[in-house]
Structure formats: C-alpha cells, structure tokens
Chain A
Amino acid sequence: MLPLEDIRVLSFGTGGVGPDSCKILGELGADVIKIESKDNLDFMRTIGPDINNIAGFNEANRNKRSFGVDSKSEKGRELVRQLIELADIIIENFRGGVMKNLGFDYENVRKLNPEIIYVSSQGFGGGGPFSDHQAYGPMISAASGMLSIWAQPDDPYPVGSNSPLPDHMASKHVVLAALAALDYRRRTGKGQFIDMAQTEVAASLVGEHYLDYTINKRVPKPMGNRSPYAAPHGCYACSGVDEWCAIAVFTDAEWRSFCDTLGNPPWIQDPGFADLLGRLQNVDELDKMIGEWTATRDAHEVMETLQAAGVAAGVVQRAPDTLADPQLQWLGAIVELDHPVTGKRLYPGVPFRMSGASPFPSIRAPLLGEHTDEICRDLLGMSEDEIKRLLDEDILHNPSNTEGTGRGMFD
C-alpha cells in the first residue's frame, strides 16, 4: 500500500517548485496528471536539445502522467474542467494571473469541485503589489533577504549558488501543505485554497536573521562559513584543483581530538586556541594554519582522518562524488531509469523509508502528451474517434503531433 494511492493530483506549472512537489506526491502513490500544452511549454522543456531530453525536466516530472491539451481552446478547457472534477488536489506555480486567465483559478475550480485542495505557489505569492511578477529560484533568494547574507564578507557582491535554492525547499513546503490540507479534508470534508509566497518560505528559513533585525535592530551581514559558536568552521582547500573539505568543531573535547589527530604541532598548542572563545577571536590565524595542514592532503583523506577522531568533516562533493558516496550507495539513494529518448540516466530516489508502506515507485518522466489518449479513454470516457479528431485539430497533444516541438530553442 502506498500512502496516496487513492489520490489524484493535477499539476499545472513550470520550472521547479510545482513540478518537484507533484513528483513527490507521485512517489507517495498519487495519480499525478501534468497538464501541458505544446504552445505554452513548461519552460524546463525548452532549455535543452529536445522537449523530452532535459535533465532537470525529466527529474522534476517523474512519477506523473502527461496530458497534452491546448488550454487556450474552449474544447481543451472543457476537458481540463472534467479532469478537475475528478481531482483531489491542484498544484500550480504559473506566474500570477495565468490560472485566472484560463478560468482555472480557485473561485472557478471550487464551483466544479467544492472539496478540491488548491495550492498556488508564486515567487511573491498572490495578493500584494508584486504578485504578478515572475520569479525563479535564484530570484527568490535575492528578493527574500537570503542572498544578502549568502556570501563571504569580502566578496564584491553576493552570488549565492548556481543551484537555484531555495526552489526545492519551497516545493517541500507545497507538499507539506497539500498533505496537511488533505488530512483536514479527510476529517471534515472541507477543501481549501493555499497561497504560498516562495520569498516568505526563504525568509522563514533564515528566520533567526529576521529576529536579529526586529529584536536587535541590526541588519545581518554575510558571515561566509564562519559560525558564532564553532571554530574551526569552514571549507579548507585540499590537494588538487577546487577540492575542499568542510570541518566543524563545536566542543572543546572535539578540539582536543582534532589537535591529537594533527599530531599536536606547536602552533596548535597556542593558548589562544585552547577554548572556543579564543578560537573565535583568532579565527583568521586558525583557518590559515588548518589550511596549511589540509593543502597537501586529499579531501577524502581529511574527512576520513577527522571522522575517525570524532570530528565532523565532509568533502565538498560534486555529482560524481555523491554517486560514489558509500553511504548513499548503501541506502540505494540513486536510481537508474530508462527513457525512450534519453536512454538510461541516473536520478535521486526517495530519501526516506516508511515501515508500513510499499517501496516507493520511481517512474521516468513522460513524453509530452504521452498519456493523453489513455486519460481521455479511461477517465473522460471518450471514443477513439473523438480522441483522434481532437488530436488532428491540435486540441489534444500526444507524441504523434508534438515531435520536434521546441527543438533548438536552447540555441
């Protein structure tokens, strides 16, 4: 048994937050139907060599069926309305106003399906002067205060990461909201609308920095990897190019163990490093000396040596390192899935286990419109003739009339 096997989700949206959240609901067993259109593609379908061959898209859209439909046509919208009547949850993260223009905003949807749970997640949320602004993950960190403290103190300006955090943190909040609302509905029969601003998720994730402002009247500055309660606490360059090991020493007992592991060289016995306060006061010198020790050592060797001594240390891993990570291998964290266009590729699995549930499914992403026919037939009760006619009229999309769509948009 899977937790959500009696639940149907309609996934509207694009990019990271909406698709990733629906992927997780699919992993939990829900029947997730991605509503897509070849004329208004999920933008992630447009930034690779082919609409069906983009790593990010094919990751974020696993465990879904694809229903290809022209939502701008009245007939297409009618079919979507029929699916809405059969759904338990709608998740959408289009730019503010898009769902309303299609007639699929909550006010309209609840008339079709009063018990629906509808989670809408925009960068800036619904309502408020910026609600119609488009926002991607890297802009959420910028507009939420998070990016302003995501830097080393001497960086010319903050850049955060080329991984679009906090997109995939916001998507988990979407799943949490949908599940909590579902639980409430199970007990009361009542659906509801949830409006999430991804900027507010980001602000919540750095909430203690907001309290520093509201309580201490201080505008927090970037601290890089430094910690006010641990030293050493940072990434130290190891042998090789761009190879680093993160080290975090919290207690004095850990520090003594750290010193023993380094063989108690004279510099480390400086009384200025003896306790946390001293190490924090002399942190520049401390980091320099530790950097000299790590510089000639392999990052994995540094991690293993320090971990053996009970000190928190970890290699700053790249994708191939995470594939070779012995713990992740032990947990079976990475899965290989075959796909008709891309062949076999690697994807992350589900990072938790539930003792009372069947193993979670991991199903490759659908081609655009791959399940249009079966959804029309099995859920909407349409005849083969009608399906064919709507495909010919380009009101429905399936792989037969979408091949080549979007090709070359990446330049």
Chain B
Amino acid sequence: MTKEKESALGVYRILDLADSKGAYCTKLFADLGADVIKIERPEGDPGRAMPPFVDDTPHPEKSLYFLHRNAGKRGITLNLETSEGSDILKKLVKTADVLVDNSPPDYMANLGLDYPALQEINPGLVMASITEFGHSGPYKDCKGSNLVDYALSGVMITSGYPGKEPCLCPGTPAHDAASLYANIAILAALYMRGATGQGQYIDTSVHETSRLGLYPWIVPNYSYAINPDGPPPTSETRMGASIYPVYPCKDGLIRVVALTPRQWDALVRVLGSPEVLLTEEWRGFLYRIGNADDLYALVLEYTEKYTMLELFEAGKREGVPIAPILNIEDFYNSPHTKARDFFVEVDHHVAGKADYPGPPYKWTETPPRIQRPAPCLGEHNEEIYCSELGFSQRDLVALRGARIA
C-alpha cells in the first residue's frame, strides 16, 4: 500500500464567505489541502444560479461555474444577519486560520463581525477582505462586475478585434486577479504568523488588483512612451493581429510571436525563406507593425501550405515561437494534456462523474488534488454543526426552521 502524501496546506482551516470575487482563491487553497468551509446564505451562493448548467437544466447543484470554482470545499449554510448566525460564525472563527470575505464596505462591521471583533476571539486569524473598489475612497460604493472591472483595468481597450467593441477575456479575469492577490497576501500573512503568532487583516479590491495585476506594464509602457525617443505606446488600443499575428493554415489557425530580428529570421526560414520576406526592412519590428496589413497578406500565402502541428514543430526547430490555436475540445484531447494528466475525474452527487481541470501544477512532496466535488447546498451542515460545533440534530432542525442554517 502506498502511503498518501501530505498536503501543503492541510493544517489550515479556511472560512470562505466569498462569492465569485473570491471563489477561485479558496479553490486554490482547497487544491493544496486546506480545509475550506464554504459558508453560504440559506438560499445559496448566487454562483449557483450562473449558467450554463449540466444538461442546460437550471438547478442549484448544476452550475458549471459553481462546480468548477468550488470543487474541493465543504459547504454549510448560515445566515449571518441573525444574532445566532453571527454567534455561530464566531464559534467557527475560533477553529479557523483564515477568513475570506467579499462583503461590501461596513457590512461585516454592522454585524459585529469586523476584524477587531474576530481577532479578539482568535488573535491568530488572518482575514482577507476583497471588495469591489475598496473600503474607502470616491468609488467605495460603486457597483462592480467582472466586465466592468475588466473595462476599468486598462486591459480591455487592448482586447478584441481592431475597430470593434472591446472584448472581454473569457472566464472571470478581474475577479480572479483579486482572488490571486488574496491568495498571495494570505499566505504571506500565515508565514508571518509562524514567526509572530499574530494574525492580520488584508484589504484588497477587484479594482486595484485587476488594474495592477492583470497586465502591470500598461502604466510604465505609457509612462516611458512620453519620452519622444521611445517606442509608441502599444497599450492604447486594439492592435489585433499586428503584434501577435494569427494566420490560417491547412487545418486551423496559428499565432506567432516574432519580436526580435532573430525570431523574424526564424519565421522566414519556417515559411521556406520566400524571397518577398527576405527584404531587410521586414526585420524591423516597428516596420512590421507599421505595415502589418501588407505583411499579413504576404505571410498568409505561405502559412496556408502547412498544418498547425507542422508550423508548431518548425517554429521550435528554427527558434520562433508559434502556437496552434486550440479550441476547448482540442486542448482537452491534446496528447500533451493527456501526458500530463491535467484533467481529473470528479464525481458529484447531482452533476455526476466528469473530467475537471486539475490543479495547474505538479508538486513533488505535496501533490495538490481536488479533494471532493463542490458541496451541495448545506451538504456538510450536519458534519460541521453537529460533529464539530456540538449542536444536536434537534438544534440543527430548529436552526434550519428559523432560516439561520
């Protein structure tokens, strides 16, 4: 019998009061072994209502978004807006290392659940607050959303086909930027706690993390381009295929990154060194950007002679990065994806068995894994309320009846 390896964060309990702004944060912690308890309102996390659904059947246990971003967590229901509910949260806080909260400014304070109150109960608690725009400042009470924050981030103006409406990056990039910075700050705080024994409060927002995190170079690119000798700003609009061209080939599309003269030379060799591309001027990156349409028409004739894989391999051989544009099915079925065992089977009580994207890295000592499927609404109420917090079955029934659990 092989001994099961330890997990990296198995010693930690994380209370997850997060909605979509923090779901990815706590999912990554669950992958690394943390005991993540997702605490939902009795009516359920709004993420449960997000389509698409399994078999296109709207159902609180069938949202694909919810299933992916909450895999690995346990789940209970709890209404914090009752005094019994907030007392129960305090009981849980005593047992926890981390609390992730997404509520708007002042919400937790009004419930008597702000950090000073919780720290009194558990001085080692690390509490991370992810708001939309921050706890103070002129936008404090503004409404955010993944789309709106992506727009404000400065990245959206560069996203999408030139001349058309800017295009949202798939997934929830603004929310995930906030999640990832929360991951970083929480782990930094836990590391400090190892030395000091003290927890701390972390304050971040979707607005600042998406602006500073998704593509930090926008501000310096602009700031440097103020210099008249510098290159023109590439961060001001949608440049489409001019910097990272997309070309059709025999069986699909490829994307090419040829920035340096050496990479350009390699691309020309990949395409069979056609005379029209050997002109010295084409070696200049800025010249290529300035004449992108002409160049596109020239290169197109040659890429169409090859398959995606041929160009991918030739690019590696010659020294120019070329990537196939794979769709969701292609990536899932790619021999490389299979060789790395990226997808893992998860069996959910309602949604059934399916392959899920696994943790996006391999660890030698503490392999991450999806510990369990996303919790059904209140699935672990009995386990946590009765076995861990000492409520009786009858208490739990009463709590449910009063819409506290």
| Interface check B239, CB cutoff 8 A | yes
Q: Does B38 contact A (CB under 8 A)?
A: no
**A-B CB contact pairs (8 Å), 25 listed:** A48-B231, A55-B225, A142-B326, A151-B167, A166-B173, A167-B215, A179-B184, A184-B365, A187-B194, A199-B331, A200-B340, A203-B360, A207-B68, A210-B328, A210-B357, A216-B52, A229-B49, A248-B147, A248-B148, A314-B148, A319-B218, A327-B137, A330-B136, A353-B203, A356-B198
B280 to nearest A CB, angstroms?
10
Contacts of B352 in A (CB 8 A): 215
Minimum CB–CB distance from A177 to chain B (whole Å) comes to 6
In whole Å, how far is B344's beta carbon from the nearest beta carbon of chain A? 11
Chain B residues numbered 108-141 whose CB sits less than 8 Å from any CB in chain A: 115, 133-134, 136-140
Q: Which of B187, B191, B326, B337 contacts A176 (CB 8 A)?
A: B187
Residue contact A229 to B221, C-beta cutoff 8 Å? no
Pair A354/B185 contact, Cβ less than 8 Å:
yes
Most A C-beta atoms less than 10 A away, residue of B156, B184, B227, B356: B184
Min Cβ gap A20→B in Å is: 7
B208 x A331 contact (CB < 8 A): yes
Query: Which of A64-72, A341-349, A373-381 interfaces with chain B?
Result: A341-349
Known: A142-B325, A142-B326, A328-B207. A186 touches B191 (CB 8 A): yes
Whether A219 contacts B329 by the Cβ 8 Å rule is: yes
Q: Across the interface, do A150 and B169 meet the contact criterion of CB distance under 8 Å?
A: yes
Is there contact, CB below 8 Å, between B323 and A244? no
Q: Mark A281-321, 1 if CB is under 8 A from B, else 0.
A: 00000000000000000000000000100111111111111
Whether A165 lies near B332 (C-beta < 8 A) is no
CB pair B54 A215 closer than 8 Å: yes
Q: In this assembly, does B145 line the interface, its C-beta being within 8 Å of a C-beta of chain A? A: yes
Q: Does B257 touch A at the CB level, under 8 Å?
A: yes
Task: A133 to B115: give the CA distance in the assembly, Å.
Answer: 47
Q: In the complex, what distance in Å separates the CA atom of A48 from the CA atom of B227?
A: 12
Residue B274 at the chain A interface, CB threshold 8 Å: no
Contacts of B358 in A (CB 8 A): 200
CA distance A236 to B152 in the complex (A): 14
The residue of chain A having its C-beta at the shortest distance from the C-beta of B200 within the complex is A356
Smallest beta-carbon distance A250→chain B, Å = 7
Tell whether A101 is near chain B: CB-to-CB under 8 Å. Answer: no
The answer on a CB contact under 8 Å between A216 and B259 is no
* Chief secondary structure at chain A's binding surface: mixed
B8 close to A (CB within 8 Å): yes
Residues of chain A from 138 to 168 with CB closer than 8 A to chain B in the complex: 138-140, 142-152, 155-168
Most chain B CB within a 10 A radius of its CB, from A1, A158, A321, A352:
A352
B223 at interface, CB cutoff 8 A: yes
**A108 vs chain B, min Cβ distance (A):** 15
B165 touches A224 (CB 8 A): yes
Contact partners of A130 in chain B: CB under 8 A: 312, 336
B398 in contact (CB, < 8 A): no
B330 on the A face (CB < 8 A): yes
Given contacts A152-B164, A183-B187, A327-B138, contact A145 B219 (CB under 8 A): no
Cβ-closest 10 pairs across A and B: A319-B222, A356-B200, A139-B323, A330-B137, A246-B151, A179-B187, A3-B188, A172-B180, A352-B204, A327-B139
Contacts of A195 in B (CB 8 A): 361-362
A33 CB within 8 Å of chain B? no
A209-B52 Cα distance, complex, nearest whole Å: 9
Which of A58, A315, A410 contacts B220, CB < 8 Å?
Answer: A58
The distance in angstroms between the C-alpha atoms of A351 and B223, with both chains bound, is 19
Q: Which among B153, B169, B221, B261 is the interface contact of A55 at CB below 8 angstroms?
A: B221
- How far is it, in angstroms, between the C-alpha of A191 and the C-alpha of B366 when the chains are bound? 10
Contact residues in B for A211 (Cβ distance below 8 Å) = 64, 67-68, 354, 356
| Contact across chains for A356 and B196 when beta carbons are under 8 A apart | yes
Q: How far is the CA of A233 from the CA of B330 in the complex (A)?
A: 29
Interface contact B200-A172, CB-CB below 8 Å: no
